[in-house]
Structure 1
Amino acid sequence: MIETPSSAPAELSVVVPVFNERDNVAPLIHEIVAALRPLLPFEIVYVDDHSTDDTIARLLALKQEVPELRVLGHGVQSGQSTAIRTGVNAARASWIATLDGDGQNDPADIPKLLQARAKADGQVKLFAGWRVNRQDTASKRWASRWANAIRSRMLRDDTPDTGCGIKLFERGAFLDLPYFDHMHRYLPALMQRAGWRTLSIPVNHRNRSSGVSKYNNLNRAWVGISDLRGVAWLIRRSRIPRAREL
């Protein structure tokens, strides 16, 4: 039996930022639909970060067959963190799932994150994917281990993998966080700074089947050093008072 879209308000918004991912949008969208349509009312919010290929045209064509799909587009290229924030701002559900647009995250893991949320207490506002079997190049895996070790030492965020694109978080808690470029790499530390708890959940990771990576180890390292110092400063300067109504 083929599931049909529910007319109920969305309980989950799946936000996917993309830049030049023309051949990955259709397979990923169909996987999201297959994973979620039997479970709950949802929407898919794609944010195109000013692609120079025909990603937008393909997304608009897909709207005709996937009624849950919404498409937003940036007028200028603004980066992944800004694209995620654009999607979260536009989202209609109170909880957000994010996926990278390259297809390396598996939408079949979203139900696993939802199950973890159902078992957790209300203080957990972020469920972060943890790529236990990464399918990247050896140099990327080495750079990621190096970066995670330094980040963990400085921020003490108790998170083994902050670079995984699949996450589940409360929309309001996310929008309360300080916004800056590349903030998506520090969501566990930022959520904890705000007084919330976070959990890491093992998830699948896949090879990129089409297109090319938009990052390299060198530019990621230089930007990461500056961002890491900034996030560490934010944590040192944070205060979370306990208040009671008088």
Structure 2
Amino acid sequence: MQPISTPPEVSIVVPIYNEVDNLPDLVTRIEAAMRSQPLSFELIAVDDGSRDGSGKLLLELARTRPWLRPVLLARNYGQSSGLQAGFDRVRGRYVVTLDADLQNEPDDIPLLLNRLETDPDVDMVSGWRKDRQDAALSRKLPSKIANRLISQATGVQLHDYGCALKAYRRHIIDRIHLYGELHRFIPSLARDAGARITEVPVRHHARTRGVSKYGIDRTFRVILDLILMVFLMRYRQRPLHAFGGVGLWLATPGFLILAWLFLLKLFGHDIGGRPLLIVGVMLVLMGITFVAAGLIGELLTRIYYESGGGQQYYVNEPETSSETGANSPADAQHIPPTQAAHGQGERPPGTPV
């Protein structure tokens, strides 16, 4: 099977983990949905180390479908890594994501794409499962709490952060990088990269095959990841303001306490056995430690940006040929930096990675 010479207009990325029962129906329904609209497409199906034969089935399905591109990861890395593996290989000017469990409705993909096509002021369309079909309260209630908490903390107001069905302009995907479990915060990362975001209601179905990969313990991980996201969005380029601010709040009362005890000592009072002395010393030491951590963070930030390790800002350029599908050869291949360094290009569809 030969590589597709003309880059598709839409790249659909689906991370997969132990969904062998859903794959045939998923591929068929995505094809039917995309054939109903004029844009060409590819489906990048990323098997995240499944143990139920999902990867083998993907290769079989790809033999007769040149638009299906399986990516087989060496082991289970998690949903964020699965999505990033797909993002590294997209070639379309639009990128769509959805889950493989068929709770998302593939027929809603043209709805999201149409919004991007007709509204130049929108860079990302996020699905909103307005009528969720999850029966378990243990999924609905934590999800509502998490959505409100994330919206308030990040400033990106969405009803449904957890909906996997989303559509993006390609340049937004090129600007964000996922690791850990940051897939839950893609809208926040996209906004940080300059995306203009809107939300549209989409359909949602109850799971009929396979087993859910989510549990109540996810709530605690979301809180920890949210702390990371708030820090990255507000203090990534100025860590001294974060650590130094905490340090000053700690050190200031510590210095005042020590100054008060010093005055008492001058007037002949014994301060050696006072617990307040220990409190003052500890506050000052903790404050100095936080300020020092902030200074080290500033040095690391300067090294990171001055060595070309990251972008300090993004510029909204007028749409060029790469945005309209007439990509240059380098853009068409969209070789990830790690592959480019080793001379690796795109693999033919149906070839495991």
Decide which structure has greater helix share.
Answer: 2
Query: Which residue is 2:26 aligned to?
Result: 28
Query: Which residue is 2:227 aligned to?
Result: 229
Structure 2: distance between partners of 1:243 and 1:194 = 10
Cα deviation for residue 195 of structure 1 reads: 2.2
- Percent identity at matched positions? 36
Cα deviation for residue 189 of structure 1 reads: 1.3
Cα deviation for residue 108 of structure 1 reads: 0.4
Query: Which residue is 1:138 aligned to?
Result: 137
Query: Which residue is 2:172 aligned to?
Result: 173
Decide which structure has greater strand share.
Answer: 1
Query: Which residue is 1:212 aligned to?
Result: 211
Contact 1:8–1:41 (8 Å) recurs in 2:
no
Query: Which residue is 1:3 aligned to?
Result: none
Secondary structure at the counterpart of residue 9 of structure 1: coil
Tell me the amino acid that sits aligned with residue 30 of structure 2: I
Q: Which one of the candidate residues 14, 17, 26 is aligned to 2:15?
A: 17
Structure 2 portions without partners, runs of 5+: 238-311, 317-353
Contact 2:84–2:177 (8 Å) recurs in 1:
no
Structure 1: distance between partners of 2:116 and 2:68 = 24
Structure 2: distance between partners of 1:35 and 1:232 = 37
Query: Which residue is 1:105 aligned to?
Result: 104
Contact 1:12–1:97 (8 Å) recurs in 2:
yes
Contact 1:11–1:42 (8 Å) recurs in 2:
yes
Query: Which residue is 1:90 aligned to?
Result: 89
Residues 30-49 of structure 1 correspond to what in structure 2 (within 5 A)? 30-39=28-37, 40-49=39-48
Contact 1:128–1:166 (8 Å) recurs in 2:
yes
The TM-score with structure 2 as length reference comes to: 0.64
CA RMSD, Structure 1 to Structure 2 (Å)? 2.0
Secondary structure at the counterpart of residue 217 of structure 1: coil
Q: Which structure: larger Rg?
A: 2
Structure 2: distance between partners of 1:241 and 1:205 = 37
Cα deviation for residue 175 of structure 1 reads: 2.8
**Measured at CA, do residues 222 and 65 of structure 1 come closer, stay the same or move farther in structure 2, by a change above 3 Å?**
same
Query: Which residue is 2:306 aligned to?
Result: none
| Per-residue deviation, residues 179-231 of structure 1 (Å, max 9, x unmatched) | 3222221111111122221111110001111010111011x112111110011
Query: Which residue is 1:160 aligned to?
Result: 159
| Per-residue deviation, residues 12-40 of structure 1 (Å, max 9, x unmatched) | 01111000000001101100000102322
Structure 1 portions without partners, runs of 5+: 1-5
Contact 1:128–1:167 (8 Å) recurs in 2:
yes
The TM-score with structure 1 as length reference comes to: 0.90
Secondary structure at the counterpart of residue 45 of structure 1: strand
2:197 matched to 1:198?
yes
Q: Which runs of 4+ in 1 moved over 6 A?
A: 239-244
**Measured at CA, do residues 96 and 241 of structure 1 come closer, stay the same or move farther in structure 2, by a change above 3 Å?**
closer
Contact 1:49–1:73 (8 Å) recurs in 2:
yes
Tell me the amino acid that sits aligned with residue 30 of structure 1: T
Once the two structures are overlaid, the 10-residue window that deviates more, 64-73 or 159-168, is: 64-73
Count of residue pairs brought into register by the alignment: 237
Structure 2: distance between partners of 1:25 and 1:243 = 39
Secondary structure at the counterpart of residue 191 of structure 2: helix
Secondary structure at the counterpart of residue 90 of structure 1: coil
Q: Which one of the candidate residues 123, 140, 147 is aligned to 1:125?
A: 123
